[in-house]
Structure 1
Amino acid sequence: MGAMLLDFTLLALFIVGITATVGVISSAIGIKVFGRGKENKHVNQSNKTQVGWKAVGGTKK
C-alpha cells in the first residue's frame, strides 16, 4: 500500500511539474514569436500618460 501511495505521489508531482514547465516554455515562445516588440506596450503608454505630471512623495535632498 505504501509503495502505491509513493508511486501515485511521484506521478502526480511529475505531471504537475511537466505541465508547469510546458506552460512557461510555451508562454515564452508565444511572447517572442507573436509579441513582435510589444513587450513594453503598457509601460510605454503609462509613460506617455504621465508626461508633465508633478513628482510627489519621496524626500528632497
Structure 2
Amino acid sequence: MISYFTDFVLFAIFVIGLTATMGVLANGIGSGLFGGKTKDTFFQQSEKTQKGWNRVKRINR
C-alpha cells in the first residue's frame, strides 16, 4: 500500500513538472514566433520605468 502512494506521488510530481515545463516552453516559443511587434513590450516598459535609477551594489559573502 505504501508503494502505491509512493508511485502516485512520484507520478503526480512528474505530471505537474512536465505540465509546467511545457507551458513555459510553449509560451516562449509562441511569443517568439507569433509575437510580432509586441513581443518586447513588457521589457521595453520595464526599461523605461528603470531609466535613471541608480545601480545597487551587491555584497558578496
Normalising by structure 1, report the TM-score. 0.63
Deviation per CA, 1:4-59: give whole Å up to 9, x if none.
00000000000000000000000000000001231233645xx6xxxxxxxxxxxx
Largest Rg, 1 or 2: 1
Q: Is there any run of 5+ residues in structure 1 with no aligned partner, and where? A: 48-61
Q: How many aligned residue pairs are there? A: 50
**Partner of 1:28: helix, strand, or coil?**
helix
Report which of the two has the higher share of helix: 2
**Structure 1 counterpart of 2:35, one-letter code:** G
Runs of 4+ in 1 over 2 A off after TM superposition: 39-44
Identity of aligned residues (%): 36
Aligned-residue Cα RMSD (Å) equals: 2.5
Q: Distance in 1 between matches of 2:13 and 2:37?
A: 36
